[in-house]
Amino acid sequence: MFDYDQSTTYHYTDNAEDWDKASDVVAEIIDNDKFSIIDLPKTGERVEVGELYKYDGQVYRVRQSHNVTVYSPDQIPALFTVYRKETTDMQWIDGEKVDAGMLRTYKDIVYECMQSHQTQKDWVPTKATTLWKKYTSDVSEWVQPTGAHDAYNTGDRVLFEGSTYESLIDANVWSPTAYPAGWEKI
């Protein structure tokens, strides 16, 4: 169980909104160093959904309220998920709850999560293509538009001859060299 300022205990349900709130609260508590995560209780003791515990050098979040069993958290993914504060420079690991849009690196390639799920050994990004896609930055190579349907609009960014440019106009069908007034070099 985690206590903030030793007066309020935070408990959360399986409601997706509550998971988001729990992450925010826990991230704030950890960021402010006002809180330490305690070890997983002994077998038979009760743990509640949303609580964080340390076990074998890893932090786990309780997915379902239950009495602690003889099995370790990594052996029962229905009851625990690995907790890590979100950052973009993270390796893919087994047993972590990931949300759509999160980035993880697997075998030196960055992947974007397409659907919220809990990672597992047989759902690695290279095999679970419905859950993961190779990440590409928002900036792609400039391609000659063929009409209004694929023209660049104000704020669109492109790579052109090794530099990044941002369109200053809507319906921009010209390259940065063909119409320099329509682009700003970033």
> What is the CATH number for 165?
2.10.10.20
pLDDT computed for residue 122 by the predictor: 93
Give the burial string for 38-60 (b: 16+ CB within 10 Å, else e).
eebeeeeeebebbbbbeeeebbb
pLDDT computed for residue 70 by the predictor: 96
Strand order in the sheet with 183-185: 140-141, 157-160, 163-167, 183-185
User: How is residue 173 written in tokens?
Assistant: 């069908």
User: How is residue 54 written in tokens?
Assistant: 């340390």
- For residue 155, give its domain range: 140-185
Verify that 60 and 30 share a domain, yes or no. Answer: yes
pLDDT computed for residue 35 by the predictor: 59
Number of structural domains (the chain) is 3
d(CA 108, CA 55) in angstroms, rounded, equals 28
Verify that 71 and 98 share a domain, yes or no. Answer: no
Verify that 73 and 104 share a domain, yes or no. Answer: no
The residues pairing with 82 across neighbouring beta strands, listed in sequence order, are 60, 96
d(CA 143, CA 177) in angstroms, rounded, equals 13
Verify that 13 and 68 share a domain, yes or no. Answer: yes
Pinpoint the alpha helices (H) of the chain: 16-31
Verify that 93 and 61 share a domain, yes or no. Answer: no
CB 55 within 8 A of CB 37: no
Residue tagged 């190579």 (tokens): 141
Q: From the CA atom positions of the chain, what is the Rg in Å?
A: 23
pLDDT tens digit string along 146-180?
988 999 999 888 889 878 898 999 999 999 999 99
pTM of the model: 0.53
pLDDT computed for residue 163 by the predictor: 83
pLDDT computed for residue 10 by the predictor: 38
pLDDT computed for residue 87 by the predictor: 67
Q: What are the residue ranges in the chain where pLDDT is below 70?
A: 1-35, 86-88, 138
Verify that 35 and 95 share a domain, yes or no. Answer: no
Verify that 66 and 56 share a domain, yes or no. Answer: yes
pLDDT computed for residue 14 by the predictor: 42
pLDDT tens digit string along 137-152?
768 889 999 988 999 9
CB 109 within 8 A of CB 121: no
Verify that 2 and 70 share a domain, yes or no. Answer: yes
